[in-house]
Amino acid sequence: MRHRVKGKLLGRSVGQRNALRRTMVTQLLTHERITTTRTKADAIRGAAEQMITQVKRSLSKGDAAYQVHIRRLLNGRLDDPQMVSKLFDVLAPRYMERPGGYTRIYRLGPRKGDGAEMVVLELVDRPTDGGSQPAAGLAGRAGGLLSRIRGGRRGQDKPAESGESSS
């Protein structure tokens, strides 16, 4: 039984776990979508959401000293100081009205080789690649995303148009 055992050990020592968490959370905030194993996604999901919540609370409080305090805490927990600025300038204002649940996990299936369950961990309401609008109707596009990530057919989705005339 796992009485009083907190967190996921991930088969690593404490320093390796901390480095992995720090790197993966930084990458999630940088790219807003990462592909990883389900266990690692479960391990970093809470840390990423907690960071966004801390920044939201500091912005809503309006106390400059508290904002500096949170910035310093996050600088110690992330690899890149630019990600702390992104949290304060972009991500926290985006999720100011959302009461939690800033990440989403899509299952991709087993990885070839060792059979580890692969997932896509992404931030919800993230802008699409083409513009600055949030991704609406994402459930409809999830199948296309999953097929691209799984290595589905590329360029074979549409047949060639036969309406063209060659004169």
The yes-or-no verdict on residue 117 having pLDDT over 70 is yes
* 60 CB-near residues (< 8 Å, 6+ apart): 96
* Residue type at position 85: S
CATH superfamily of 14-149: Ribosomal protein L17 (3.90.1030.10)
Residue extents of the structural domains in the chain: 14-149
Q: What is the per-residue pLDDT across 71-107, written as a single tens digit (0 to 9) for each?
A: 999 999 999 999 999 999 999 999 999 999 999 999 9
Any idea which of 84-88, 119-123, 135-139, 140-144 has the lowest mean pLDDT? 135-139
Range 102-128 average pLDDT: 94
Identify the pLDDT of residue 120. 97
pLDDT interval class at 6 (50, 70, 90): confident
C-alpha of 104 from chain center: 7
Q: What pairing do the DSSP bridges indicate for beta strands 33-37 and 117-123? A: antiparallel
What is the model's pTM?
0.75
Tell whether the model's pLDDT for residue 131 goes beyond 60: no
Helix, strand and coil percent figures for the chain, each rounded to 5: 50, 15, 40
Distance CA 124, CA 4 (A): 32
pLDDT, tens only, 17-74: 999 999 999 999 999 999 999 999 999 999 999 999 999 999 999 899 999 999 999 9
Length of the chain in residues, anyone? 167
The yes-or-no verdict on residue 121 having pLDDT over 90 is: yes
